[in-house]
Structure 1
Amino acid sequence: MKRKLIAAIGVATMAATVAACGSGDDGGGGGSSDAITVWLMDGSAPEEWVDELNAAFEEEHGVTVNVEIQQWDGIQDRVTTALSEDGTVDVLEIGNTQTVGYANTGGLAELGDLAGEPWNEAMLESAEVDDTLYAAPWYGANRVVIYDKGIWEEAGAEVPTTREEWITALETLQENTDAEPIYLPGQSYYVMGGFVADEGGSFAVEDGDGWAGALATPEAQAGMEFYAQLQEFSNAPAEIDEAEPQQSVDIVPNGEVASWIGLGWEAAGAVAAIEEQGGEADFGYFPIPGETADQLGHVFLGGSNLAVSGRAGNSEMANEWLAMATSQEWAQKFVDANGGGVVPNRTDVTATPEEGSFAEAMVASADVGYLPPLTTGWANVETDPNPIKELMTKALNGEDYQAAAGEADSEITDRINRE
């Protein structure tokens, strides 16, 4: 997964960094019977939660926990190296779209003792291979619609609960204000993927022992058609994604944008940028609507898992630490420490974010999260030039959908089946 879909996912609600308990910044720790090494990603957990958890673990087991904070840049190479060495790391945080790949290459230990825990089903999918648990879900987050309350009030637009109402609101904004009703660049493919999932489709499907692209299907075409319907209300080019230019700091603060679709860190970034310019942000938030009021739209559920290295120096204590960190008690404390602003990893954990907050809208969609194909080769699909992005641009520019989707499916099939 891209860094900004994981690392900064909860900037709006999470503490800025995790303090290392013990030695290390990016180095590796050797195995020891009285210590374990835990790799956490920069920005993934509140400092107070980490400190309290490790103090409780050390008191119970008499084992020191050395937390080493990792940066997302270059993390895949570092993890690959660490998992090939004895005792470099015991427990590590892994992005949810990366977990299956590391499990398939034999780098992760099986976590059979945790298989029966009440995990969030949408998050559990990324942690299993052939019904075997190789990681424990830790946290998730997803996009919501962010809107300018003042512009919506001026237009007389109402917060929608269905796709149809959403289009009506955008029409109202277009008719009654000079603002751009929605900023939606042509290549926000994870947003489009949610609409495809609403229709029962996916980017790719299992095909025998491999995978095959699935964009030339009625479901994917219907999802793309709704995306195109929304995109008609945007001035954004069809050839760019949400990252370049960055919608939260380059677009929203510098123009009249009535609404956009983003993550928590993007909402926080937009607020900060507007305030730096001497303005005042007044955002509201609502979940991406579904086709009916009783079913929210699907959203890409990004996040991280916690795993034990297959070559851990202290596998027994590594398993004990992971079990404690993801237990009901400590998972609830993790959610509370984040102000309810993460999707809980367990069904027996509750999130009670502040009313009207980004987190409230985000958590509402937790049960309709979707993930891309969970296979080692998916990273090859997301490499530029991304065939899904290219298809979206072609479709928005009026090219024949089926022909363009057929080309994209061929490319996806070739890439996803590479090791």
Structure 2
Amino acid sequence: MRKFRTAGTAAATAAALALTVAACSSDDGSDDPGTSTKGATTIDVWLMRDSISDAFQQEFVAGFEQAHPDVKVDVQVQEWEGIGQKIISALASDDAPDVIEVGNTQVAQYAASGGLTDLSDKVSDLGGSDWIPGLAEPGKIDGKQYGIPYYAANRVVLYNKDLFAKAGITSPPTTRDAWLQDTTKLNAGGNQGIYLAGQNWYTYAGFLWDEGGDLATQDGDTWTGGLDTPAAAAAIDFYGKLQKLGKGPKDADEQHPPQIDVFAGGKVAQMIATPGAAAQVTAANAAMKDKIGFFPIPGKTADEPGAVFTGGSDLVIPTAAAHPDQAYTFIKELAGDDWQKKLAVAMSYVPNKTTLASALAGDPGAAAMAAGAANGHATPNSPNWAAVEANNPIKNYMTQVLTGADPAVAGKAASDSIAKTLNASS
């Protein structure tokens, strides 16, 4: 399963930081290092490991080069481990690639370096009014659009069709109240209505956004944590009600133990994950094949699905790019409607526009994901957010409240910790 990327870097060796960009030569006397022997300009593109399949990459590059015979594409696949520092080093150099795929919540970190091209004047040309918010918003820093939405993924509810049928539930819930009622019904015959670990903070963040709150807010240059607010208290109250309808641990996240293994046992009616988790479930227990359904996380009313964290990638152009015009042409094609529809089908991703959701009609999991993406959000748009996640006071706050602590007291401590990190000098 392709995992979500969020802002954050790992220590890298000097070798990993070294950038090797091969210069192309020309036999026609050209001095342009980006000109091939046939006179075509070669652009260097960094795409991330496993973001797209080899087959899709080859199809796109072949189609692009056919449509633009004066441009050749050299795709260099990068590893997520250590990519943050590698990109920062590239942006500070005179030899940066022309296009880079970055995690959507990493854009603020790279924009802070001053090494990204402002693409605000291209938004209209790219149909930006239809971009899904969870990709568009983190790509926009201080009113300037640096990141162009590429693809997205978000969490949905995976459910056991057999257990729903035995409980007499004929259609998935579309509101929070109905969700609680149905989950209560599913707690019968030794089954768990839902498996929800106490520190699944991305899911909690969705409930917080539904209440009109946020993990942190910015006023001028100052950040304030948002976990000591009425919205935060209402969100953790609902989270607690839902979490109690299962046997998930209060002091661990969804990986401890892996919720995939718990759900694969066949006695859990629901879990919250990306649709790709279904393949892992069936790999763990072949008997679960064809028993897994999907629905968007319910909202407070049936008019709108519940808010979700949107993971995924944006495309950026370094200011040091040797061929910015050709780089933009590449991005315009890959982020355009035709290739976005093909990408959605090939990879079960949410396309970058809400108007393209119908491309996933034949894929139930991806269709549920696309429906939820219409109410997608991102983490606070700060280059320091990675440091917040590294310590993650949100998880501590959740465990404290779920085990009886005063939400106001626990929330104040968590908010202070978040604010201290976000307000630290970069």
**TM-score between the two structures when normalised by the length of structure 1:** 0.88
Question: 1:414 offset after TM fit, Å?
Answer: 0.3
Q: Aligned-residue CA RMSD in angstroms?
A: 2.0
1:79-104 deviation per Cα after TM superposition (whole angstroms, max 9, x unaligned): 22222222242111100010121012
CA distance in structure 1 between the aligned counterparts of 2:263 and 2:132, rounded to whole angstroms: 34
Match of 1:256 in 2: 267
Question: 1:303 offset after TM fit, Å?
Answer: 0.8
Question: Does 2:170 align with 1:163?
Answer: no
CA distance in structure 2 between the aligned counterparts of 1:54 and 1:393, rounded to whole angstroms: 48
CA distance in structure 1 between the aligned counterparts of 2:165 and 2:355, rounded to whole angstroms: 38
Structure 1 residue aligned with 2:351, among 344, 350, 368? 344
**TM-score between the two structures when normalised by the length of structure 2:** 0.87
Tell me the secondary structure at the aligned position of residue 303 of structure 1.
strand
CA distance in structure 2 between the aligned counterparts of 1:55 and 1:101, rounded to whole angstroms: 32
Tell me the secondary structure at the aligned position of residue 268 of structure 2.
coil
Structure 1's 56 and 280: CA in aligned 2 closer, same or farther, altered over 3 A?
Answer: closer
Match of 2:404 in 1: 398
Structure 1 residue aligned with 2:376, among 369, 392, 400? 369
Q: Which amino acid is 2:98 matched to?
A: D
Question: Does 2:61 align with 1:49?
Answer: no
User: Contact 1:335/1:351 (CA < 8 Å) preserved in 2?
Assistant: no
Give the percent of matched residue pairs that are identical in Structure 1 and Structure 2.
37
Structure 2 regions of 5+ residues with no counterpart? Answer: 7-17, 24-33, 36-40
Question: Does 2:36 align with 1:37?
Answer: no
Tell me the secondary structure at the aligned position of residue 161 of structure 1.
coil
Bigger mean CA offset, 52-61 vs 74-83: 52-61
1:221-280 deviation per Cα after TM superposition (whole angstroms, max 9, x unaligned): 1011100000001211111111233211x32224621110001232221122112xx664
Structure 1 residue aligned with 2:328, among 319, 333, 339? 319
User: Contact 2:197/2:254 (CA < 8 Å) preserved in 1?
Assistant: yes
Question: 1:121 offset after TM fit, Å?
Answer: 4.4
Bigger mean CA offset, 69-78 vs 217-226: 69-78
Match of 1:381 in 2: 388
CA distance in structure 2 between the aligned counterparts of 1:213 and 1:387, rounded to whole angstroms: 11
Structure 1's 61 and 417: CA in aligned 2 closer, same or farther, altered over 3 A?
Answer: farther
User: Contact 1:87/1:314 (CA < 8 Å) preserved in 2?
Assistant: no
Q: Which amino acid is 1:242 matched to?
A: E
Match of 2:285 in 1: 274
Structure 1 regions of 5+ residues with no counterpart? Answer: 8-25
Q: Answer with 1 or 2: which has the greater Rg.
A: 2
Tell me the secondary structure at the aligned position of residue 97 of structure 1.
helix
Match of 1:10 in 2: none
Q: Which amino acid is 1:144 matched to?
A: V
Structure 1's 137 and 356: CA in aligned 2 closer, same or farther, altered over 3 A?
Answer: closer
Alignment of 1:199-348 (within 5 A): 199-248=211-260, 250-254=261-265, 256-275=267-286, 280=289, 282-338=291-347, 341-348=348-355
Aligned pair count? 392
User: Contact 2:340/2:351 (CA < 8 Å) preserved in 1?
Assistant: yes
CA distance in structure 2 between the aligned counterparts of 1:28 and 1:121, rounded to whole angstroms: 35
Match of 2:97 in 1: 89
Question: 1:355 offset after TM fit, Å?
Answer: 5.0
User: Contact 1:28/1:88 (CA < 8 Å) preserved in 2?
Assistant: no
CA distance in structure 2 between the aligned counterparts of 1:272 and 1:354, rounded to whole angstroms: 24
User: Contact 2:88/2:113 (CA < 8 Å) preserved in 1?
Assistant: no
Bigger mean CA offset, 193-202 vs 53-62: 53-62
Structure 1's 346 and 291: CA in aligned 2 closer, same or farther, altered over 3 A?
Answer: closer
